[in-house]
Amino acid sequence: MTAYKNAITLYKTFGVDVEDALLKAAKIPVSLHCWQGDDVRGFEGADTLSGGIAATGNYPGRARNFDELSMDLSVVLNLIPGSKRLNLHAVYAVTDKKVERDLLESKHFEAWIKFAKGYGLNGLDFNPTFFSHPMAASGLTLSSPDKNVRSFWIRHAKACRQIAMGFGKEFGTPSLHNMWIPDGFKDIPADRLGPRLHLKESLDEIYSVKYDRKYIIDSVESKVFGIGVEAYTVGSHEFYMNYAAKNNICCLLDNGHFHPTESVADKLSSLFAFSDFIALHITRPMRWDSDHAVLFEDEIKEIAKEIIRCGAEEKILIGLDYFDASINRLIAWAAGARNVQKALLYALLYPHAELKVMQDKGDFGKLLAWSEEIKMLPLGAVWDEYCRRQGVPCGTDWYTVIYEHEKKVTSRR
């Protein structure tokens, strides 16, 4: 407690109210992705992934069904401070027998609704699953030249939007319904426009059904390229950014889906200037979209700082998206989520208003000096106090909980 009191004093010299930062940090929801716990396999019985997706590693103890996945997730949720949501993919429907994706309904996710309410989660987010399916075998879904293929995936997306709207009504917070498709070509295409016109037509049909944003927020997610579609991605950033702007749809930025030299933090203010909402999938693209567990590093700090300095806490929809099977999956899950929460707290402890005044006055020397000194302030003491108040372990205590779970549960699967 002495360390925390000292931290309050030090931050105050920079004009930062630590107690206010703690209160604000606790109100910013972060949506945990269910697919970290089972390597994006889902409950359809798939043994492998397709559509440019690969989970690296084969650490023992992967969850194989709803009971195991929800049990692992319950351990992780108890280790993460702040407001939390849960992000589902369509392949995580809980059914007695297989239900085709274009026939999914809210009732197939009742187990998840019950689970989320039991843990007091802020809400559920949802994603149609356009990969690992025979109807995606060609590598094209909503952009396919085959009308039957497009029609199947349009029906799937429409069903998923209905499910997301149901989640919004259940929890009283809008469900983020996010569209990502793997469509593209391995080599240089003969026609770039045709697939994009097909995609536009498909999206127009999907979004022709209008829902209240009180219950559902629609987003589209771009990508530079995928495994096996290195030459051309139909749903590029330019395509989706224009489509979103024209149709009042939310853009989702995954920081692993851009060129390694691009900064998602730098893109946020451009979108905040025009958009009601922006969504994020936060990952760690060590070498492009390699989906490592998130670290507390510069890129994540800059994203968090941009959210806070823009006053966009109510406009940003934050989710996680990585699937690391090279280490204990629950450690990767919890560590990444804790680091995103830590980055948000770090950003809330920044004297953004004071630094903006320095920039506006052209006092860049003082701006540099302050920016560097702030890095040495005792964030750790504030983070520990935040965890204590949130009732989760601080320091290194959190991962001992996971090792105990591994010894008793996951190692026996």
pLDDT at 175: 98
Distance CA 92, CA 86 (A): 12
Distance CA 344, CA 391 (A): 18
pLDDT at residue 225 tops 90 = no
Q: Looking at 38, 125, 170, 254, which residue is catalytic? A: 254
Q: Looking at 35, 153, 180, 333, which residue is catalytic? A: 180
pLDDT tens column, 99-158: 999 999 999 999 999 999 999 999 999 999 999 999 999 999 999 999 999 999 999 999
Query: Residue 30 pairs with which residues in a beta bridge?
Result: 84, 318
In order of 113, 119, 180, the CA distances from 94 in angstroms are 11, 18, 22
| pLDDT band at residue 19 using 50, 70 and 90 as cut-offs | very high
- Kindly report whether the global pTM for this prediction surpasses the value 0.85: yes
Whether 321 is catalytic: yes
Neighbours of 74 (CB within 10 A): 13
| Mean pLDDT for all residues in the chain | 95
Q: Looking at 156, 257, 267, 292, which residue is catalytic? A: 257
pLDDT at 363: 97
How large a percentage of the chain has pLDDT more than 90?
Answer: 92
Q: Looking at 33, 281, 301, 342, which residue is catalytic? A: 281
| pLDDT band at residue 289 using 50, 70 and 90 as cut-offs | confident
pLDDT at 52: 74
Per-residue pLDDT, averaged over 29-56, amounts to: 88
DSSP codes joined into one string, 270-309 = HHHTT-S-EEEEE-B-TTSS--BPP-SSHHHHHHHHHHHH
pLDDT at 228: 87
Whether 223 is catalytic: yes
Distance CA 19, CA 383 (A): 12
pLDDT at residue 48 tops 80 = no
Q: Looking at 38, 39, 218, 221, which residue is catalytic? A: 221
Distance CA 373, CA 36 (A): 36
Whether 324 is catalytic: no
pLDDT tens column, 71-96: 999 999 999 999 999 999 999 999 99
Whether 333 is catalytic: no
pLDDT at residue 46 tops 90 = no
Whether 398 is catalytic: no
Whether 35 is catalytic: no
Q: Looking at 39, 170, 183, 291, which residue is catalytic? A: 291
Lowest mean pLDDT among 162-171, 202-211, 282-291, 401-410: 282-291
Whether 254 is catalytic: yes
Whether 298 is catalytic: no
Distance CA 81, CA 394 (A): 10
User: CATH says 28-348 is which class?
Assistant: alpha beta
Beta carbons within 8 Å of 107's beta carbon, 6+ residues apart: none
Whether 238 is catalytic: no
pLDDT at 103: 97
Distance CA 37, CA 18 (A): 34
Distance CA 22, CA 210 (A): 38
Residue 365 or residue 395, greater confidence? 365
| pLDDT band at residue 21 using 50, 70 and 90 as cut-offs | very high
Lowest mean pLDDT among 50-64, 107-121, 368-382: 50-64
Q: Looking at 39, 170, 289, 306, which residue is catalytic? A: 289
